[in-house]
Chains A and B, each alone.
Chain A
Amino acid sequence: MKNFADAGIRFYLILVLVFLYLPILVMALLAFNKSPLYALPFEFDLVWFKALAENDRLLKAGLNSVLIALANTVIATSLGTMAAVAFGRYTFRGKTMMQALLFPPIAIPWLVIGTAMLVFFFWIGRAIGYPGIARGLHAILLGHVALSLPYVIFVVGARLNDYPKALEEAAATLGATPWQVFRRISVPILAPGVVAASLFAFAVSFDQFVISYFLAPPGVTTLPVEIYTSIRKGFTPEINAISTIIILVSMGLMLIVARFYRFGGERSGNE
């Protein structure tokens, strides 16, 4: 009876995984199919990856996405880690309030945030005489950092909470100067959290579509925006090819994160 139930459970979980992965696998498969109309039977060909290699628009958008994601990673990880350290190591008035302020960037629909940024940046631009600065890669970067900051603060903060302040105090009683405490205790202990946070930040930016969509001026796009435009114009298998690459990059990144940062609060050694 128990085995029967277990088999049922396993079957159900596999069904859920099929639901999650089926479309992605189909898309990836069709990226290697010769027919431009997704016609079957399947015939292996790299024709769409070759077409992609010659598609300057997509490649340029891809380069923009990577550059923005890298800049976002550096900025959001540094600023977020600093804030997380302040929250983790000091008690001060307004701390709870400041931590609560991290939820709006996550909880408010991106559509609202993206359009609000557009409006605000436009007003600022007009006030200083350059309405053009409302949109562009710099504006997209500003938005991405804002969305990444809460994640960085939470991930680094979680790591910080796992390690008591007493470690740093202990180092001080042993004669370490504040700088030595930081370099020899705080940094090594925080490192896995910071690495995980930076990978999160990269993923948040690299996958971000909505904010970029509103802040991208015509002609300057990121990969998701360019893909969206192409989809709306009509299907092209090049999109399958680039999408397959994006999915692989994103999932690869997250697999690395998983090595540094346990999901779901499952601690080691409880099995």
Chain B
Amino acid sequence: MTPTTRTRWAILGLTGPAYLWLACTIFLPIAAMLALSFLDKSPLVPKPASFTLANYGAFFGKPFYWSLTRWSIELGFWVTLFSFLIGYPAAYALAKRVKGRWREAIFLLIVLPFWSNALVRIFSWTMVLRPNGIIDLGVQSVLPGAPTVDLLFTYPAVIIGLVHSYLPYMILTCYIALQAIDDSLIEAGRSLGANKLTTFRRVVLPLSLPGIISGSALIFVPVIGSFMEPRILGGTKGATLGMNIEEQFTVTANWPLGAALSFILLAIVLVIFGMLYPFLRKQSGAA
């Protein structure tokens, strides 16, 4: 369509405010952050700054940052994996085995916590995982005299808390993908002589792949950038890249280094999206 001048103004008037807002709060700040990552002095210092690659040099030169990054990525991997292992069967059961009112009710219960406060939900785990918490009390009542179970401030605590936070994402995306699979496709697979497992492996799983992939992306990305969760549940253990970035801005006040680390984080995110994108595209193109 060739819009007339009037519709062109209408489009500009309707979209302009929202996009101007996004430009000032997302896109320009990201650009500013990129610029800052190449400066040698924090803007907090009232002296003129000059160009440097030292901030990125610091990252690539120090094994400390490498191990932070590795742990962040590992954390993302474990959280995504566990979310998939727990979430996919739940999504499958919900999409294919439970019907009617029950499905609606359980589905609502699963997505409900996902919109409630993330910080509060992480905090609530401290009361479950700490010594004398629910898990500890449970173990003690079954096995009196067993050693105290103290999971708080451990790696598993961080993983449990993050899986709890992001599991609904995986269930949601897998459920949508699985629900879209026509049951007659599964019946067709069975009628062609495939057993249940083969039908699942060759028909259901590939068709639900976009759901798994987008769920994984939605989990992996925020997890590698997380700092609040590992601080509350992991304490000093298992420092992540996110925690270090936070420190550069709030404690050390080395903003340029924080900016560089942020961009390395962003680069990792982009690489992950780049790797997952072909899967999403291929599948949605076929649908």
Show the binding face of A for B, using Cβ within 8 Å. 6, 9-10, 12-13, 16-17, 19-24, 26-27, 30, 38-40, 79-80, 82-83, 85-87, 90-92, 98, 101-102, 104-105, 107-113, 115-123, 126, 142-143, 145-146, 149, 153, 203, 206-207, 209-210, 213-214, 224, 227-228, 231-232, 235, 239-240, 243, 246-247, 250-251, 253-255, 257-258, 263-266, 271
Complex: chain B residue closest to A125, CB-CB: B43
* Min C-beta distance of A237 to chain B, whole Å: 10
Please, what's the 1-or-0 string for B220-250, where 1 marks a CB less than 8 Å from any CB in chain A? 0110111110011000000000100110011
C-beta contact mask, B3-46 vs A, less than 8 Å → 1, else 0?
A: 10001101101110111011011111110110010000001000
Contacts of B227 in A (CB 8 A): 111
Of the listed residues A119, A143, A207, the one surrounded by the most CB atoms of chain B closer than 10 A to its CB is: A119
A-side binding surface: helix, strand, loop or mixed?
A: helix
A143 near B25: Cβ-Cβ < 8 Å: yes
Contact indicator B113/A98 (Cβ below 8 Å): no
**Interface membership of B215, Cβ < 8 A:** no
Residues of A within 8 A of B119 (CB): 207, 209, 224, 227-228
The 5 closest A-B pairs by CB, nearest first: A109-B225, A120-B29, A86-B14, A250-B116, A146-B25
- At the interface, is chain B mostly helix, strand, loop or mixed? helix
| A contact residues around B172 at 8 Å (CB) | 263-264
B residues at A contact (CB < 8 Å): 1, 3, 7-8, 10-11, 13-15, 17-19, 21-22, 24-30, 32-33, 36, 43, 86-87, 89-90, 93-94, 97-100, 104, 106-113, 115-121, 123-128, 130, 132-134, 137, 164, 167-168, 171-172, 175-176, 179-180, 217, 221-222, 224-228, 231-232, 242, 245-246, 249-250, 255, 258-259, 262, 265-266, 269, 273
B127 in complex: contacting residue of A26, A98, A117, CB < 8 Å: A26
From the candidates B10, B121, B168, name the one contacting A23 in the complex (CB within 8 A): B121
Nearest CB in chain B to that of A83: its residue: B18
Q: Is the CB of B26 within 8 A of A254?
A: no
Chain A neighbourhood of B128, CB < 8 A: 22-23, 26
Q: Assess the A82–B127 pair: CB atoms within 8 A.
A: no
Given contacts A153-B18, A254-B115, contact A264 B26 (CB under 8 A): no
Q: Which residues of A contact B14 (CB under 8 A)?
A: 82-83, 85-86
Nearest residue (CB) in A for B245 is A111
Shortest CB–CB separation between residue B137 and chain A, in angstroms? 7
Most chain A CB within a 10 A radius of its CB, from B10, B25, B32: B25
Q: In the complex, what residues of A have CB within 8 A of residue B127's CB?
A: 23, 26-27, 30, 38, 240
Nearest chain B residue, comparing its CB with the CB of A19: B164
Report how far A45 CA is from B168 CA in the complex, Å.
33
In this complex, what residue of A is CB-closest to B36?
Answer: A119
Chain A: minimal CB distance from B186 (Å): 16
With both chains docked as a complex, state the minimum distance between the C-beta of A131 and any C-beta of chain B, in angstroms. Answer: 9
Q: How far is the CA of A217 from the CA of B54 in the complex (A)?
A: 29
List residues of chain A with CB within 8 A of the CB of B3: 90-92
Please state if A263 and B107 are interface contacts (CB–CB under 8 Å): yes
Bound complex: CA A210 to CA B23 (Å)? 20
- Are A111 and B116 within 8 A (Cβ)? no
Which A residues lie within 8 Å of B225 (CB)?
Answer: 109-112
B93 in contact with A12 (CB, 8 Å): yes
Q: Are B29 and A24 in contact (CB under 8 A)?
A: no
Cα A247 to Cα B245 in complex, Å, equals 29
In the complex the two chains form, what is the Cα distance from A79 to B25 in whole Å?
Answer: 14
The answer on a CB contact under 8 Å between A6 and B97 is: yes
In contact, A232 and B262 (Cβ under 8 angstroms): no
**Across the interface, which residues of B come within 8 angstroms of A209, CB to CB?**
117-119, 228
Contact check, A27 vs B123: say whether CB atoms are below 8 A apart. Answer: yes
Other-chain residue from A85, A122, A145, A264 in contact with B25 (beta carbon distance below 8 A): A145
The reply to whether B18 and A80 contact each other, CB–CB distance below 8 Å, is: yes
Question: Do B22 and A146 touch across chains, with their CB atoms under 8 A apart?
Answer: yes
Nearest to B28 among chain A residues (CB) is A120
- A108 touches which of B13, B30, B97, B98 (Cβ 8 Å): B30
Which one of A112, A257, A271 contacts B265 once the chains associate, using CB atoms below 8 Å? A112
Instruction: Using known A-B contacts A23-B164, A108-B30, determine if residue A203 contacts B115 with beta carbons closer than 8 Å.
Output: yes
Question: Inside 8 A of B87's CB, which chain A residues have their CB?
Answer: 16
Residues in A neighbouring B245, C-beta threshold 8 A: 111-112, 115
**Of residues B8, B116, B132, B232, which shows the largest number of chain A Cβ atoms within 10 Å of its Cβ?**
B116
Give the shortest distance, in Å, between B35 (CB) and chain A (any CB). Answer: 9
**Alpha-carbon separation in the docked complex, A126 to B133 (Å):** 49
Are B24's CB and A20's CB within 8 A? no
Verify A263–B123 contact, CB threshold 8 A: no
A82 and B222 CA atoms in complex are apart in Å by 29
Determine how close the nearest CB of chain A comes to the CB of B161; give it in whole angstroms.
Answer: 9
The verdict on A23 contacting B125 (CB below 8 Å), with A83-B18, A112-B225 known, is yes
